[in-house]
Amino acid sequence: MVGALMKVHVVVMPKQSVLDPQGVAVKNALRDLGLDTVDSVRVGKLLELEFKTPPDDAKLEEVCRDLLSNPVIEDYSIRRD
């Protein structure tokens, strides 16, 4: 398919062991709005990368580990669409 861009989504989430005060604040706001069954919220981020040619897998893992996430506090996962 000519011209179609390949999208790669990288999801970065705080590790379970890391306190996520943003998630706690959002959870409390959700409960205030009536979503009172919500038990926990964690706030991460989603990065959308576009490629004309598929990226090298090893390189992609490397930049996810070294730049896009900080392995001390975050986990990442890669989703190819």
Partner 1 sequence: MKIAVVQFPGSNCDQDSLRAMTDGIHVEAQYIWHKETSLSGFDAVVVPGGFSYGDYLRCGAIARFSPIMRAVVRSAHDGLPVIGICNGFQILCEAGLLPGALIRNKSLRFVCKPVWLRVETAETPFTANLKGQNVLRMPIAHGEGSYFADEGTLDALESKEQVVFRYADESGNVTAESNPNGSLHNIAGICNEEGNVMGMMPHPDRAWDEKLGSEDGKLLFGSLVESLDPVLSR
The distance of closest approach from Cβ of residue 61 to partner 1 in the complex, given in angstroms and rounded to an integer, is 17
In the bound state with partner 1, the residue whose beta carbon lies nearer, of 6 and 74, is 74
2 lies in the binding site for partner 1 (CB under 8 A): no
In the bound state with partner 1, the residue whose beta carbon lies nearer, of 3 and 21, is 21
The count of C-alpha atoms lying within 13 angstroms of the C-alpha of 69, restricted to the half-sphere facing its C-beta, is 23
**What tokens does 45 get?**
């981020």
11 lies in the binding site for partner 1 (CB under 8 A): no
Ranges of H-type helices in 1-81: 21-32, 57-63
CA distance 57 to 77: 13
Binding site for partner 1 (CB under 8 A): 14, 17-19, 21-22, 25, 67-68, 70, 72-73
